[in-house]
Amino acid sequence: MKVLLFRLLFLVTSIVITLTVSSCVIPGLGPYDEALGYNGDFEFVESGLPVNWTVSRYPIKNGDMEAYLDTTDAVSGDQSLKIVVHRYKDTNRWKPFLFQVRDAEEGKTYAISFWLKAQECKILLEIGYEGKYYPFGGQSEEEKQDYAAHPRIREILGESELGDSEWRQFQYYYTVPETDGSIRFELKFRQAGSLWIDDVRIELVQTNEVPLTNP
């Protein structure tokens, strides 16, 4: 009986600690509304931020970064999202970022396309599975092998790839792990500058439509 009570107390305490920590340390901010879909062209806005997208909380709070909708320049719809990084340091704990997590079919391949325009900007692009959170224990061997077989796409996009003050389209293909069911699309900023993003699409494709390698 004592052992059972101890285990129950340990479980409750662990859950409380997890919830407390997660509520205090929120690296990103942004409104969420499942009914509005993925909002890939940034047309839905709430409190000045695009719905269903997450942007860096602390860089904005510290004045190192700002994000707003640009109604004067867009590829799709009436506006694009513009992110301006005023200051960047490798030593900062919270670095500027933008991301979204989308539901996807396990084991299926998706085409991820988007438009970027930059001025003196460099980013790390990451596309891949979201990964599951385990409050106790860890991944099973099956999951470890599955994730290893579907590594995240990671690519640095700098001046030569982004150009200067002109829109460019990018497209990649990613096969979702059999044990996950999500795609995380993220831009991590690696220097000061301005970046516009618009018309983000993540679409299911047939296997015969996928090239042998990503660009």
Decide if 13 is inside a domain: no
Closest CA to 75 of 171, 185, 167, 163: 167
Note the pLDDT tens digit of each residue in 144-200.
Answer: 899 999 999 999 999 999 999 999 999 999 999 999 999 999 999 999 999 999 999
- The DSSP line for 133-196 is --SSS---HHHHHHHHHSPPEEEEE-HHHH-SSS-EEEEEEEEPPTT--EEEEEEEE-SSEEEE
Which CATH number do you get for residue 86? 2.60.120.260
Residue 151 lies in a domain: yes
**pLDDT, tens digit, 9 for 90 and up, residues 96-117:** 999 999 999 999 999 999 999 9
Angular region, 195: left φ>0, alpha ψ -120 to 50, beta rest: beta
Domain assignment of residue 164, given as a range: 28-207
Establish if 109 belongs to a structural domain. Answer: yes
| Cβ pair 110, 173 in contact under 8 A | yes
Evaluate if residue 214 carries a pLDDT over 70.
Answer: yes
Asked if 193 contacts 92 with a C-beta cutoff of 8 angstroms, the reply is: no
Total domains, the chain: 1
pLDDT at 173: 96
**What would the pLDDT profile of 36-46 be if each residue is shown by its tens digit?**
889 999 999 99
15 domain-assigned: no
Pairwise CA distance, residues 37 & 168, whole Å: 24
Examine residue 12 and state whether it is found in any structural domain, yes or no.
no
User: What tokens appear for 48 in the block?
Assistant: 């000045």
Distances (CA, A) of 124 to 61, 64, 73, 97: 22, 18, 23, 9
Closest CA relative to residue 174, chosen from 130, 212, 127: 127
pTM (2 d.p.):
0.82
Look at residue 209 and give its three-state secondary structure. Answer: helix
Strand pairing category for 80-85 and 123-128: unpaired
pLDDT, tens digit, 9 for 90 and up, residues 117-153? 999 999 999 999 988 767 677 788 888 899 999 999 9
Q: Is 7 within a domain?
A: no
Answer yes or no: are the C-beta atoms of 124 and 187 closer than 8 Å.
yes
> Residue 80: inside a domain, yes or no?
yes
- How far apart CA 111 and CA 173 sit, in angstroms, is 5
Phi, psi torsion values for 195, nearest 5 degrees: -140, 135
Which one, of 206, 196, 205, lies nearest residue 73 by Cα?
196
* DSSP conformation letters of 44-113: -EETTEETT-EEESHHHHTTSEEEEEETT--SSTT-EEEEEE----TT-SS--EEEEEEE--TT-EEEEE
Note whether residue 47 is domain-resident.
yes
CA atoms within a 13 Å half-sphere pointing along the CA-CB vector of 22: 8
